[in-house]
Amino acid sequence: MNPQSPPNPPRQSSPSAGHSDTHAPIMAGAAIELPASITVNGIAHAVMMVTPTAMEAFATGFAFSEGIIDSIDDLRDLTVSHLRRPLLPEAPQSANPSPEIDTITLELEISPRQWQRYRNTRQLRQGSSGCGLCGHEALATAMPALAPLAPSALPAPEQLQGLQALLAREQLQQPSGNGLHAALLRAPDGESLCCLQDIGRHNALDKVIGHALLQGVALENHSVLMSSRSSVELVQKAVRARLSTLLHLGSPSTLAIQLARHYRLNLLQVTRQQRVQVHAGPDSETTP
């Protein structure tokens, strides 16, 4: 994950959706959720429900997490477009016209080699803001084999202090609305590198992964602090991105713990009592 050169700067067809006055005043402060249609070389891939911030990072991270690209060099171009359209199809003889919403189109152009690989494995699936695994047709596609991480040390004890307050401060600086999941990327020395939010927890992590790809940041020995609980898809995304440590404010699922131990991902939980519980780490048992 050391990109040699970033893709062409994303092209935007209109100002960023979600920051116009169309959401005010009756929904002021509410978490913004919009549909984002993702295409790969002109072919529809998925529709994801997202919060429309850091869309370039999201598209890049999503493409990487989904295996559409294996490195930033595979992404030749990225276009972000915004279009206003009716929320619902018009019902016959309906007295109530459908409200209009902002929609987003993320057009990915990938390399010929990656395109051929993509065509051989492509699935059209519908995404949601709640579960990054929903819609897979087979267990093999939902649970692909990934290369285990190199063992890495846990963050230093001083980096594990005051994490709830740290994330709260970072979230206050984000103008995205209330009730969003946050993912905070931290360097090996504990420095905060970026905090990105989304209505979907897996989207928030995709944004951080995409940000790292676009900035040329290799995620070995880095950590991500997340406001949500940990689940399978977050562990998979972290392992594929070669991230060393995931920290969560919520408790992990049993399968997330099993996978984290298997792949040597450090998986920690910050409890409400400000204690740090290590669910997977250097001393954890691993599965066969």
Q: Over 80: is that where the pLDDT of 142 sits?
A: no
Report residue 272's pLDDT band, with 50, 70 and 90 as the boundaries: confident
Q: For residue 11, how many other CB atoms are within 10 A of its CB?
A: 11
Beta strand segments in 111-241, E: 125-126, 181-186, 192-198, 223-226
CATH number of 157-280: 3.40.140.10
Find the largest Cα–Cα distance for the chain. 65
What's the pLDDT at 210? 99
Is 157-280 the same fold as 11-139? no
Tokens of 107: 């057009």
First-residue to last-residue Cα distance in the chain: 27
Distance from C-alpha of 227 to C-alpha of 200, rounded to nearest angstrom: 11
Tokens of 48: 């994801």
Quick: pLDDT tens for 25-43.
446 678 899 999 999 999 9
Q: Over 90: is that where the pLDDT of 252 sits?
A: yes
Pick from 65-79, 127-141, 270-284: least confident: 127-141
What's the pLDDT at 87? 81
* Average pLDDT of the residues in 175-183: 80
Q: Is the peptide bond before 3 cis (omega within 30 degrees of 0)?
A: no
Its sign, for the CA torsion 9, 239, 232, 70, is positive
Amino acid at 270: V
What's the pLDDT at 121? 79
* Average pLDDT of the residues in 220-239: 96
* Average pLDDT of the residues in 104-128: 82
What's the pLDDT at 131? 58
Q: Are strands 75-86 and 100-110 parallel, antiparallel or unpaired?
A: antiparallel
230 within 8 A of 267, measured Cβ to Cβ:
yes
Hey, where are the domains in the chain? 11-139, 157-280
265 within 8 A of 246, measured Cβ to Cβ:
yes
Q: Is 134 one of the catalytic residues?
A: no
The CATH number of 11-139, from 3.40.50.720, 3.30.2270.10, 3.40.50.300, 3.10.20.10, is 3.10.20.10
Q: For residue 109, how many other CB atoms are within 10 A of its CB?
A: 17
Report helix, strand or coil for 75. strand
What's the pLDDT at 178? 74
Distance from C-alpha of 39 to C-alpha of 119, rounded to nearest angstrom: 13
Report residue 124's pLDDT band, with 50, 70 and 90 as the boundaries: very low
What's the pLDDT at 288? 33
What's the pLDDT at 125? 46
Distance from C-alpha of 134 to C-alpha of 123, rounded to nearest angstrom: 12
User: What are the Cα distances from residue 45, in Å, to 65, 200, 253?
Assistant: 14, 18, 28
User: What are the Cα distances from residue 100, in Å, to 54, 83, 208?
Assistant: 23, 10, 30
What's the pLDDT at 256? 97
Distance from C-alpha of 189 to C-alpha of 172, rounded to nearest angstrom: 23
Quick: pLDDT tens for 48-86.
999 999 999 999 999 999 999 999 999 999 999 999 988
Higher pLDDT, 93 or 48: 48
